[in-house]
């Protein structure tokens, strides 16, 4: 049997050949996390392989087994050299990081263990050695050694770049068999909040009412609503509990649900009496967006909402949505009508939306546009400060985070956002564990495209898997988090977006994919910060 070390920027498939490499050198700032892999390939016999890691204080090390999930088709519209694992796909793809230190491997089979190294902010600068041992059927293999250099530099918090992934409370309710209004829900959701923070996210979507996204969803409504003779009454207690739970775990900004339906703001969202226990809607779902019944609701809700936000000191830490992904002239008209009504009823509210059509920004209908990566540079060039997003598209050379997107390409995310002057990042799928646009729960370990391929690519709907006591990370999620660390690192080092060291990045499609490119610029940033210490 062979065993070797590799970086966290490569995938190893069941048929990947054996390699060599008993040691690996890495470098990081204090306060950073980094990852390596211990990989092994069996000979002609099955083996029970146990892994262990030995690290000196004060390093905190977590070892997990890299699991495989099925990928029946590769991502469409993408050249082979921008697909990782092309020689092994369709097939099994490494992705979930399972809380296990043992694997039962078959003959001529490759498996990996993922080792995450957390460096405390107050760690002593210097050199550390981390030993990793693999034992096959009780027989220990030669040890593997990670040589870690901890710099004097300390990683500071990322500034002025909010990050959000839409959070599906309904998926947690269905998977763990709890309801949003039950006390049993909170021990379920809190590990997921902590997971977001641990991966660089600072903003959380709040299901004030059932998000009008991705089809008709099960009632998931924090806001308690009652209605009596034309007067609405609001119970904010569960909303407040969600906010306080998120804040206690490190989330600092709040993204409130869309005020109108997806793709053009044609209708109000589905809002229920109570918390949706009886699925009793307050108005017919085909009501018009600016209909008297919804206008009456908003005229009472929006002032109460503002009072709640001010009382909780949230107004300056909130993002508001109108309608998701409007496009074209028809949507422009309906979006405009809804925006005019909001200007009248809530002049204090600024709105942000995922929209790729620059005409919405030119018409000054959105305060914070969030264009797709394909048009995001055009928004910046036209003088519209904008966030950026990707989802099931774009594909090809563009940055994305599918199961066959090269991990080194995903690691470039933070660099691309910085270079292209994005003001924030949004992704739609943190934990969408449903069949596409239905309320039918899937097993994410078996179905990774929400049964949506080719429109939805494998890996797009979620970046974490459900575990028995919280989220199970994916390789993609870990690497994306490291890319956000890189963003903070070069930000604090004072690198300008137009620095010649970033000149190789032209846009979100034309950029380096070489880990050595990242390593060279990280060395520069670490040296800059070392000099400041």
Q: Kindly write down the DSSP assignment for every residue of 353-413, as one continuous string.
A: EE---THHHHTT--SEEE-BTTTHHHHHHTT----EE-SS---TTS----TTS-HHHHHTH
Q: Which residues contact 79 (CB under 8 A, 6 or more apart)?
A: 396, 397
CA nearest to 237, candidates 199, 211, 275: 275
Query: CA 416 to CA 118: how far, in whole Å?
Result: 25
pLDDT exceeds cutoff 90 at 38: yes
Predicted pLDDT of residue 464: 98
pLDDT exceeds cutoff 90 at 138: no
Predicted pLDDT of residue 323: 98
> In 10 A of CB 217, how many CB atoms?
20
pLDDT exceeds cutoff 90 at 431: yes
pLDDT exceeds cutoff 90 at 495: yes
pLDDT exceeds cutoff 90 at 305: yes
Task: Specify the DSSP element, H or E, that contains 486.
Answer: helix 475-493
Predicted pLDDT of residue 60: 98
Question: In this structure, what are the phi and psi dihedrals at residue 195, rounded to the nearest 5 degrees?
Answer: -65, -40
Predicted pLDDT of residue 533: 86
Predicted pLDDT of residue 456: 96
Question: Is the Cβ–Cβ distance between 282 and 273 less than 8 Å?
Answer: yes
- Model confidence pLDDT, tens digit, residues 309-318: 999 999 999 9
Kindly provide the b/e burial profile for residues 457-496, where b requires at least 16 CB atoms within 10 angstroms of the residue's own CB: bbbbbbbbbbeeebbbbbbbbbbbbbbbbbbbbbbbbebe
Q: Which two tokens mark 325? A: 């992904």
Percentage of residues in the chain with pLDDT exceeding 70? 100
Predicted pLDDT of residue 262: 97
**Nearest 10 degrees: Cα torsion 470, 475, 477, 481:** 120
- Model confidence pLDDT, tens digit, residues 323-338: 999 999 999 999 999 9
pLDDT exceeds cutoff 90 at 503: yes
């Amino acid at each position: 049997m062979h065993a070797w070390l590799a970086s966290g920027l490569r995938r190893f498939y069941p048929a990947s050949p054996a390699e060599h490499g008993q040691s690996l050198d890495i470098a990081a700032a204090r306060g950073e996390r980094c990852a390596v892999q211990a990989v092994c390939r069996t000979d002609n016999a099955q083996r029970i392989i146990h892994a262990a890691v030995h690290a000196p204080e004060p390093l905190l090390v977590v070892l997990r087994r890299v699991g495989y999930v099925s990928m029946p088709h590769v991502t469409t519209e993408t050249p082979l050299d921008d697909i990782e694992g092309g020689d092994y796909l369709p097939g099994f793809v490494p992705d979930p990081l399972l809380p296990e230190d043992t694997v039962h491997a078959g003959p001529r089979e490759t498996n990996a263990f993922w080792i995450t190294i957390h460096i405390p902010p107050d760690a002593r600068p210097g050199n550390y050695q981390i030993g990793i041992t693999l034992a096959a059927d009780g027989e220990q293999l030669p040890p593997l050694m990670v040589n870690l250099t901890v710099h004097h530099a300390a990683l500071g918090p990322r500034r002025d770049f909010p990050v959000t992934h839409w959070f599906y409370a309904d998926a947690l309710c269905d998977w763990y068999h709890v309801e949003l209004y039950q006390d049993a829900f909170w021990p379920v959701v809190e590990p997921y909040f902590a997971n977001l923070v641990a991966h660089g996210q600072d903003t959380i979507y709040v299901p004030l009412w059932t998000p009008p996204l991705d089809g008709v969803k099960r009632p998931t409504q924090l806001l308690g609503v009652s209605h009596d003779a034309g007067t609405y009454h609001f119970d904010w207690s569960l909303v407040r509990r969600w906010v306080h739970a998120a804040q206690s775990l490190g989330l600092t900004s709040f993204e409130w649900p869309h005020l109108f339906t997806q793709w053009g703001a044609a209708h109000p969202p589905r809002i229920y009496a109570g918390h949706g226990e009886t699925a009793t809607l307050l108005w017919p779902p085909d009501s018009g967006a600016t209909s008297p019944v919804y206008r009456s609701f908003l005229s009472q809700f929006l002032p109460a909402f503002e009072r709640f936000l001010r009382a909780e000191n949230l107004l300056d830490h909130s993002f508001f949505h109108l309608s998701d992904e409007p496009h074209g002239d028809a949507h422009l008209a309906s979006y405009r009508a809804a925006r005019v009504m909001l200007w009248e009823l809530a002049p204090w509210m600024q709105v942000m939306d995922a929209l790729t059509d620059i005409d919405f920004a030119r018409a000054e209908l959105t305060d914070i546009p969030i264009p797709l990566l394909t048009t995001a540079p055009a928004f910046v060039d036209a003088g519209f400060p904008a966030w950026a997003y990707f989802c099931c598209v774009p594909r090809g050379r563009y940055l994305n985070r599918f199961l066959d997107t090269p991990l080194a390409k995903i690691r470039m995310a933070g660099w691309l956002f910085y270079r292209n002057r994005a003001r924030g990042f949004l992704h739609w799928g943190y934990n969408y564990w449903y069949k596409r646009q239905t309320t039918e729960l899937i097993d994410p370990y078996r179905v990774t495209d929400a049964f949506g391929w080719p429109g939805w690519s494998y890996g797009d709907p979620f970046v974490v898997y459900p575990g028995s006591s919280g989220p199970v990370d994916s390789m993609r999620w870990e690497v994306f988090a490291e890319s956000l660390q890189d963003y903070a690192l070069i930000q604090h080092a004072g690198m300008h977006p137009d620095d010649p060291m970033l000149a190789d990045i032209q846009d979100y499609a034309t950029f380096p994919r070489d880990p050595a490119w990242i390593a060279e610029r990280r060395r520069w940033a670490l040296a800059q910060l070392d000099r400041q210490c």
